[in-house]
Structure 1
Amino acid sequence: MGELVSPPLPTADQTRAWGARLGRLLRAGDLVVLTGGLGAGKTTLTQGIAEGLGVRGPITSPTFVIARVHPSLVGGPDLVHVDAYRLGGFAELDDLDLDTALEDSVTVVEWGHGLAEDLTDDRLEVTLQGEETRTASVAVHGDRWASDHLDHLGVLTEPGLGTLTEPS
Protein backbone atom coordinates (compact mmCIF):
# COMPACT_ATOMS: atom_id res chain seq x y z
CA MET A 1 0.00 0.00 0.00
CA GLY A 2 1.06 3.61 -0.24
CA GLU A 3 0.51 6.89 1.46
CA LEU A 4 -0.18 10.24 -0.10
CA VAL A 5 0.92 13.45 1.58
CA SER A 6 -0.67 16.69 0.47
CA PRO A 7 1.19 19.91 -0.13
CA PRO A 8 0.72 22.60 2.51
CA LEU A 9 -2.95 23.64 2.62
CA PRO A 10 -2.78 27.11 4.21
CA THR A 11 -6.36 28.17 3.36
CA ALA A 12 -9.81 26.65 3.55
CA ASP A 13 -10.14 27.13 -0.23
CA GLN A 14 -6.99 25.09 -0.86
CA THR A 15 -8.22 22.37 1.50
CA ARG A 16 -11.56 22.28 -0.35
CA ALA A 17 -9.78 22.17 -3.75
CA TRP A 18 -7.59 19.25 -2.64
CA GLY A 19 -10.71 17.51 -1.30
CA ALA A 20 -12.47 18.04 -4.65
CA ARG A 21 -9.60 16.30 -6.43
CA LEU A 22 -9.87 13.41 -3.99
CA GLY A 23 -13.66 13.37 -4.39
CA ARG A 24 -13.36 12.90 -8.15
CA LEU A 25 -11.45 9.65 -7.49
CA LEU A 26 -14.07 8.17 -5.18
CA ARG A 27 -16.85 5.80 -6.21
CA ALA A 28 -19.80 4.03 -4.61
CA GLY A 29 -18.67 1.79 -1.76
CA ASP A 30 -15.70 3.94 -0.76
CA LEU A 31 -15.12 4.79 2.89
CA VAL A 32 -13.03 7.79 3.94
CA VAL A 33 -12.11 8.08 7.63
CA LEU A 34 -11.08 11.61 8.67
CA THR A 35 -8.86 12.26 11.68
CA GLY A 36 -7.63 15.55 13.10
CA GLY A 37 -8.15 17.83 16.06
CA LEU A 38 -10.89 20.41 16.46
CA GLY A 39 -10.59 22.94 13.65
CA ALA A 40 -8.20 20.76 11.63
CA GLY A 41 -10.36 21.05 8.51
CA LYS A 42 -12.31 17.79 8.45
CA THR A 43 -15.60 19.41 7.40
CA THR A 44 -13.80 21.75 4.99
CA LEU A 45 -12.16 18.74 3.34
CA THR A 46 -15.56 17.02 3.19
CA GLN A 47 -16.97 20.10 1.43
CA GLY A 48 -14.32 19.59 -1.24
CA ILE A 49 -15.03 15.87 -1.50
CA ALA A 50 -18.71 16.73 -1.94
CA GLU A 51 -17.84 19.17 -4.72
CA GLY A 52 -15.75 16.51 -6.45
CA LEU A 53 -18.62 14.03 -6.18
CA GLY A 54 -21.23 16.55 -7.37
CA VAL A 55 -23.67 16.16 -4.46
CA ARG A 56 -26.26 18.55 -3.06
CA GLY A 57 -25.12 20.77 -0.20
CA PRO A 58 -24.63 22.63 1.92
CA ILE A 59 -22.06 20.47 3.68
CA THR A 60 -21.93 21.35 7.36
CA SER A 61 -20.67 19.40 10.35
CA PRO A 62 -23.25 16.77 11.32
CA THR A 63 -22.12 16.86 14.96
CA PHE A 64 -25.62 16.97 16.45
CA VAL A 65 -27.51 14.91 13.86
CA ILE A 66 -24.60 12.40 13.60
CA ALA A 67 -25.16 11.64 9.89
CA ARG A 68 -26.45 13.40 6.77
CA VAL A 69 -27.07 12.04 3.29
CA HIS A 70 -26.27 14.35 0.37
CA PRO A 71 -27.85 13.08 -2.87
CA SER A 72 -25.90 13.18 -6.12
CA LEU A 73 -26.78 15.90 -8.60
CA VAL A 74 -24.88 14.20 -11.42
CA GLY A 75 -26.02 10.56 -11.32
CA GLY A 76 -23.09 9.44 -9.16
CA PRO A 77 -23.07 8.05 -5.64
CA ASP A 78 -24.63 9.91 -2.74
CA LEU A 79 -22.40 11.20 0.05
CA VAL A 80 -23.07 9.95 3.58
CA HIS A 81 -21.35 12.39 5.97
CA VAL A 82 -20.97 11.12 9.54
CA ASP A 83 -19.58 12.80 12.63
CA ALA A 84 -18.62 10.09 15.12
CA TYR A 85 -17.38 12.54 17.78
CA ARG A 86 -20.36 11.94 20.09
CA LEU A 87 -20.52 8.19 19.54
CA GLY A 88 -19.43 5.93 22.38
CA GLY A 89 -18.04 3.12 20.27
CA PHE A 90 -18.52 0.88 17.26
CA ALA A 91 -21.88 -0.41 18.55
CA GLU A 92 -23.36 3.11 18.30
CA LEU A 93 -21.81 3.59 14.85
CA ASP A 94 -23.22 0.21 13.82
CA ASP A 95 -26.68 1.35 15.01
CA LEU A 96 -26.61 3.95 12.21
CA ASP A 97 -26.81 1.05 9.68
CA LEU A 98 -24.10 2.65 7.56
CA ASP A 99 -23.26 -0.72 6.05
CA THR A 100 -26.63 -0.68 4.24
CA ALA A 101 -25.68 2.56 2.46
CA LEU A 102 -21.97 1.78 2.16
CA GLU A 103 -22.27 -0.15 -1.11
CA ASP A 104 -24.17 2.58 -2.95
CA SER A 105 -22.62 5.71 -1.45
CA VAL A 106 -19.35 7.34 -0.60
CA THR A 107 -19.17 7.47 3.19
CA VAL A 108 -17.02 10.04 5.00
CA VAL A 109 -16.68 9.59 8.76
CA GLU A 110 -15.20 12.46 10.78
CA TRP A 111 -13.64 11.38 14.09
CA GLY A 112 -13.89 7.81 12.79
CA HIS A 113 -10.42 6.51 13.68
CA GLY A 114 -10.77 3.50 15.97
CA LEU A 115 -14.48 3.14 15.08
CA ALA A 116 -15.13 3.03 11.36
CA GLU A 117 -12.38 0.58 10.37
CA ASP A 118 -14.73 -2.33 11.09
CA LEU A 119 -17.20 -1.13 8.44
CA THR A 120 -15.01 -2.35 5.58
CA ASP A 121 -11.48 -3.47 4.84
CA ASP A 122 -11.28 -1.04 1.90
CA ARG A 123 -10.84 2.52 3.09
CA LEU A 124 -8.82 5.68 2.97
CA GLU A 125 -7.69 7.16 6.27
CA VAL A 126 -7.04 10.87 5.97
CA THR A 127 -5.21 12.60 8.81
CA LEU A 128 -5.23 16.41 8.86
CA GLN A 129 -2.45 18.10 10.81
CA GLY A 130 -1.18 21.59 11.42
CA GLU A 131 -2.64 24.74 12.88
CA GLU A 132 -1.99 27.68 10.56
CA THR A 133 -1.00 25.57 7.57
CA ARG A 134 -2.47 22.10 7.46
CA THR A 135 -1.41 19.04 5.51
CA ALA A 136 -3.31 15.84 4.84
CA SER A 137 -1.85 12.37 4.74
CA VAL A 138 -3.85 9.58 3.15
CA ALA A 139 -3.23 5.96 4.14
CA VAL A 140 -4.80 3.38 1.86
CA HIS A 141 -6.21 0.02 3.02
CA GLY A 142 -7.71 -2.94 1.21
CA ASP A 143 -8.01 -4.40 -2.25
CA ARG A 144 -9.85 -1.37 -3.65
CA TRP A 145 -6.72 0.68 -3.09
CA ALA A 146 -4.20 -2.07 -3.94
CA SER A 147 -1.09 -1.01 -5.82
CA ASP A 148 -2.78 -1.25 -9.21
CA HIS A 149 -5.22 1.45 -8.08
CA LEU A 150 -2.59 3.77 -6.64
CA ASP A 151 -2.07 5.27 -10.11
CA HIS A 152 -5.57 6.70 -9.74
CA LEU A 153 -4.51 8.38 -6.52
CA GLY A 154 -1.47 9.59 -8.44
CA VAL A 155 -3.77 12.10 -10.11
CA LEU A 156 -3.29 14.00 -6.89
CA THR A 157 0.41 14.30 -7.64
CA GLU A 158 -0.13 17.05 -10.20
CA PRO A 159 2.27 19.95 -9.55
CA GLY A 160 1.64 21.37 -6.10
CA LEU A 161 -0.86 18.68 -5.09
CA GLY A 162 1.24 16.17 -3.19
CA THR A 163 3.17 13.01 -3.90
CA LEU A 164 2.75 9.31 -3.28
CA THR A 165 5.30 7.69 -1.02
CA GLU A 166 5.65 4.21 0.39
CA PRO A 167 4.99 4.04 4.14
CA SER A 168 8.12 3.65 6.22
Structure 2
Amino acid sequence: MTQLAERLLAMEEEERELQFDRFDNETALELGLAIIGEAKRAGKSITVEIYREGQRLFAHAMAGTSAENENWIRRKNNVVNHFGQSSWRVALRVREDGQSLEADYGLPLADYVGAGGGFPLIVRGEGQLGTITVSGLPDQEDHDLLIAALRAFLNRDAEPSRGGAGA
Protein backbone atom coordinates (compact mmCIF):
# COMPACT_ATOMS: atom_id res chain seq x y z
CA MET A 1 0.00 0.00 0.00
CA THR A 2 1.36 3.42 -0.94
CA GLN A 3 1.86 6.19 1.58
CA LEU A 4 -0.92 8.17 -0.08
CA ALA A 5 -3.32 5.21 0.08
CA GLU A 6 -2.53 4.87 3.80
CA ARG A 7 -3.19 8.59 4.30
CA LEU A 8 -6.54 8.33 2.51
CA LEU A 9 -7.55 5.42 4.75
CA ALA A 10 -6.52 7.42 7.82
CA MET A 11 -8.69 10.34 6.69
CA GLU A 12 -11.62 8.00 6.15
CA GLU A 13 -11.14 6.82 9.73
CA GLU A 14 -11.06 10.46 10.94
CA GLU A 15 -14.49 10.97 9.42
CA ARG A 16 -15.84 7.90 11.26
CA GLU A 17 -14.17 8.91 14.54
CA LEU A 18 -14.81 12.66 14.67
CA GLN A 19 -18.58 12.67 14.99
CA PHE A 20 -20.91 14.34 17.47
CA ASP A 21 -23.64 12.80 19.58
CA ARG A 22 -25.57 16.06 19.16
CA PHE A 23 -24.82 19.47 17.75
CA ASP A 24 -26.59 22.73 18.53
CA ASN A 25 -25.81 26.44 18.33
CA GLU A 26 -23.98 26.41 21.66
CA THR A 27 -21.84 23.49 20.49
CA ALA A 28 -20.94 25.48 17.37
CA LEU A 29 -19.83 28.44 19.49
CA GLU A 30 -17.73 26.29 21.81
CA LEU A 31 -16.19 24.35 18.92
CA GLY A 32 -15.41 27.51 16.98
CA LEU A 33 -13.68 29.02 20.00
CA ALA A 34 -11.76 25.77 20.53
CA ILE A 35 -10.53 25.87 16.91
CA ILE A 36 -9.45 29.50 17.33
CA GLY A 37 -7.70 28.53 20.58
CA GLU A 38 -5.83 25.74 18.78
CA ALA A 39 -4.69 28.20 16.11
CA LYS A 40 -3.52 30.69 18.73
CA ARG A 41 -1.56 27.99 20.58
CA ALA A 42 0.10 27.04 17.29
CA GLY A 43 0.86 30.69 16.49
CA LYS A 44 -1.27 30.53 13.32
CA SER A 45 -3.84 32.89 11.83
CA ILE A 46 -7.01 31.39 10.32
CA THR A 47 -10.59 32.05 9.38
CA VAL A 48 -13.12 29.48 10.63
CA GLU A 49 -16.77 28.93 9.77
CA ILE A 50 -19.23 26.32 11.02
CA TYR A 51 -22.49 25.59 9.20
CA ARG A 52 -25.41 23.37 10.17
CA GLU A 53 -28.15 22.70 7.62
CA GLY A 54 -27.13 25.73 5.56
CA GLN A 55 -27.07 28.17 8.48
CA ARG A 56 -23.78 29.71 9.53
CA LEU A 57 -23.56 29.21 13.29
CA PHE A 58 -20.00 30.43 13.82
CA ALA A 59 -17.57 32.61 11.91
CA HIS A 60 -14.37 34.30 12.96
CA ALA A 61 -11.46 35.78 11.03
CA MET A 62 -8.25 36.17 12.99
CA ALA A 63 -5.89 39.09 12.37
CA GLY A 64 -3.76 38.40 9.32
CA THR A 65 -6.53 36.79 7.27
CA SER A 66 -8.55 38.40 4.48
CA ALA A 67 -11.86 38.17 2.65
CA GLU A 68 -10.15 35.74 0.27
CA ASN A 69 -10.12 33.17 3.10
CA GLU A 70 -13.93 33.36 3.18
CA ASN A 71 -13.99 32.53 -0.53
CA TRP A 72 -11.71 29.54 0.07
CA ILE A 73 -14.04 28.39 2.85
CA ARG A 74 -17.07 28.67 0.56
CA ARG A 75 -15.34 26.57 -2.10
CA LYS A 76 -14.10 23.97 0.43
CA ASN A 77 -17.61 23.73 1.91
CA ASN A 78 -19.00 23.02 -1.55
CA VAL A 79 -16.55 20.12 -1.94
CA VAL A 80 -17.43 18.69 1.49
CA ASN A 81 -21.16 18.98 0.78
CA HIS A 82 -20.84 17.47 -2.72
CA PHE A 83 -18.70 14.47 -1.75
CA GLY A 84 -19.63 14.04 1.94
CA GLN A 85 -15.91 13.83 2.77
CA SER A 86 -13.19 16.14 4.01
CA SER A 87 -11.97 18.52 1.33
CA TRP A 88 -8.37 17.32 1.83
CA ARG A 89 -9.36 13.68 1.37
CA VAL A 90 -11.16 14.57 -1.86
CA ALA A 91 -8.21 16.67 -3.05
CA LEU A 92 -5.69 13.90 -2.46
CA ARG A 93 -7.90 11.22 -4.02
CA VAL A 94 -8.56 13.33 -7.12
CA ARG A 95 -4.84 14.09 -7.47
CA GLU A 96 -3.91 10.43 -7.00
CA ASP A 97 -6.36 9.43 -9.74
CA GLY A 98 -4.94 12.10 -12.08
CA GLN A 99 -8.31 13.84 -12.19
CA SER A 100 -9.59 17.35 -11.65
CA LEU A 101 -12.78 18.56 -10.01
CA GLU A 102 -13.66 20.59 -13.07
CA ALA A 103 -12.78 18.21 -15.93
CA ASP A 104 -13.85 14.93 -14.31
CA TYR A 105 -16.71 16.01 -12.07
CA GLY A 106 -18.02 19.11 -13.85
CA LEU A 107 -17.46 21.25 -10.76
CA PRO A 108 -16.38 24.80 -11.63
CA LEU A 109 -13.18 25.97 -9.95
CA ALA A 110 -14.88 29.25 -9.11
CA ASP A 111 -17.12 27.30 -6.71
CA TYR A 112 -15.12 24.19 -5.74
CA VAL A 113 -11.53 23.71 -4.63
CA GLY A 114 -9.50 20.62 -3.86
CA ALA A 115 -7.75 21.92 -0.76
CA GLY A 116 -7.46 20.96 2.89
CA GLY A 117 -9.46 22.52 5.70
CA GLY A 118 -13.09 21.47 5.17
CA PHE A 119 -14.64 18.68 7.23
CA PRO A 120 -18.15 17.21 7.39
CA LEU A 121 -20.13 18.00 10.53
CA ILE A 122 -21.55 14.55 11.28
CA VAL A 123 -24.00 13.71 14.05
CA ARG A 124 -24.27 10.02 14.92
CA GLY A 125 -27.57 8.57 13.78
CA GLU A 126 -28.34 11.62 11.63
CA GLY A 127 -25.45 11.85 9.15
CA GLN A 128 -23.80 14.95 7.76
CA LEU A 129 -25.61 18.09 8.88
CA GLY A 130 -23.07 20.70 7.85
CA THR A 131 -19.44 21.68 7.59
CA ILE A 132 -16.57 22.82 9.79
CA THR A 133 -13.98 24.69 7.76
CA VAL A 134 -10.76 26.64 8.24
CA SER A 135 -8.61 28.63 5.83
CA GLY A 136 -5.37 30.53 6.14
CA LEU A 137 -2.64 27.87 6.09
CA PRO A 138 -1.26 25.48 3.47
CA ASP A 139 -3.57 22.52 2.65
CA GLN A 140 -2.14 19.93 5.01
CA GLU A 141 -1.78 22.44 7.85
CA ASP A 142 -5.41 23.61 7.55
CA HIS A 143 -6.53 19.98 7.72
CA ASP A 144 -4.20 19.00 10.58
CA LEU A 145 -5.11 22.02 12.72
CA LEU A 146 -8.81 21.33 12.26
CA ILE A 147 -8.43 17.62 13.05
CA ALA A 148 -6.37 18.35 16.19
CA ALA A 149 -8.98 20.83 17.42
CA LEU A 150 -11.89 18.47 16.66
CA ARG A 151 -10.18 15.54 18.34
CA ALA A 152 -9.42 17.58 21.48
CA PHE A 153 -12.96 18.99 21.57
CA LEU A 154 -14.66 15.62 21.18
CA ASN A 155 -12.37 13.86 23.66
CA ARG A 156 -12.68 16.42 26.44
CA ASP A 157 -14.51 15.53 29.61
CA ALA A 158 -17.78 17.30 28.88
CA GLU A 159 -21.47 16.64 29.24
CA PRO A 160 -23.03 15.28 26.04
CA SER A 161 -25.13 18.46 25.86
CA ARG A 162 -21.95 20.34 25.03
CA GLY A 163 -21.39 18.17 21.97
CA GLY A 164 -18.74 15.85 23.35
CA ALA A 165 -18.33 12.29 22.20
CA GLY A 166 -20.35 11.04 25.16
CA ALA A 167 -20.21 7.66 26.82
Q: TM-score, normalised by structure 2?
A: 0.38
Please identify which structure carries the higher helix content: 2
